[in-house]
Amino acid sequence: MGRVVSRIVITPPGALNLPRFRELWEAREIFYRFGARDVVLRYRQTVIGVTWVVLQPLVTAAIFAVVFGQVADLPSGDVPYFLFAFTGMMAWNLFSGVLSRSAPSLVANQALVSKVFFPRMLVPLSTMLSVLLDFAVSLVLFVVLLLVNGVNPGWAILTAPLWILCALVLASGLGLAGAALNVKYRDVTYVLPWITQVLLYATPVAYALDAVPDDIRWLFDLNPLTWLLEGFRWAFLGAPQPAVWQIWALPLTAVVVLLGGMLVFQKLEREFADVI
């Protein structure tokens, strides 16, 4: 019988091992199905169903407009504050959405992890699909807002995919490590919301970087999320271009974080089924 399938050899895992990328690719259907499941489940057994996808960012934006635009008087540079905050919110939701959904994902699917083999990495990674869907809806809304306000971001908009990708990669790296650690130490579930909250305040999401006092400005400049936010505003609002070193440092940091996350994940993965 002429079998064309390749043989699979299983040996005890080494100390540092990267995932088998071919296997990940072959199992991409799982990535897609998990993502679709998350989206479907969120709105199943709701009265207005898919309308929630559109309604959620819309209402959030409206709250933003009232609270920040009317009540608080925060500086936002040249653009209307509402647009300024909305861009920040889009970038932030992309990052924190992936992080906060991927970290508990393995534990939430523990029956699967302990009973069926598939590349486990796909569980945390697949959460990005539903986050991306939300992002896409916000983006459409945002384009409408740009037109209404007559803001033209200029050619910098071409860099937008880069920033989106960086946000995803950065969050996935942290999310992978978080998901893997959470299998053994459930504390991650409790600590992570605090960390994201602190990061939210430490990152110029709702305020402009100019509002930061000069003596602690260097602290903000060290935060990769600051680079991300500045990049987003440059691309989407035509805000001043971030420093060139930041444009280079962000993708680099993101890739390093992703690789680190993968290594942590792979290191802990061998005992998932035994300790989950």
Partner 1 sequence: MADTAISVEHLSKAYRIARSGKAPDRLTEALVARARRPFHRREFETFEALSDVNFDVPWGEALGIVGRNGAGKSTLLKLLTRITAPSRGRIDLGGRVGSLLEVGTGFHPELTGRENIYLNGALLGMSRREIRARFDEIVEFSGVSRFLDTPVKRYSSGMYVRLAFSVAAHLETEILAIDEVLAVGDAEFQKKSLQKMRDVAKDGRTVLYVSHQMQTVSALCTSAVYLDRGQLVHHGSVEEAMTAYRESFETFSAQQTDAARRPGTGELRLTKVAVEEVRDPADEMSVEIEIEANPELVGTYFLSCHVNDDHGTVVTQCDSRLVGLWLDPSKPQRVTLTVKDLWLKPGRHTLDVFVCQMGILDAWRGAAAFEVLPHLPYPELVVDEGVSLGVVFSDFEYETWGES
Neighbours of 104 (CB within 10 A): 19
Shortest CB 113 distance to partner 1, Å:
8
Shortest CB 177 distance to partner 1, Å:
12
Q: Which residues bind partner 1 (CB under 8 A)?
A: 1, 3, 5, 7-13, 26-27, 29-30, 32-34, 36-37, 40-41, 44-45, 111-112, 114-118, 181, 184-188, 191, 270-271, 273-274
Cβ closer to partner 1: 123 or 131? Answer: 123
Cβ closer to partner 1: 210 or 271? Answer: 271
Shortest CB 41 distance to partner 1, Å:
5
Identify whether the C-beta of residue 267 lies closer than 8 Å to the C-beta of residue 15. Answer: yes
Cβ closer to partner 1: 10 or 48? Answer: 10
Cβ closer to partner 1: 29 or 210? Answer: 29
- Report the C-alpha gap between 264 and 18 in whole angstroms: 10
Largest CA distance in the chain: 76
**DSSP code of 17?**
-
Shortest CB 186 distance to partner 1, Å:
8
- Report the C-alpha gap between 226 and 253 in whole angstroms: 13
3-state secondary structure of 174: helix
Residue 213 φ/ψ, nearest 5 degrees? -55, 145
- Report the C-alpha gap between 161 and 171 in whole angstroms: 15
Shortest CB 71 distance to partner 1, Å:
39
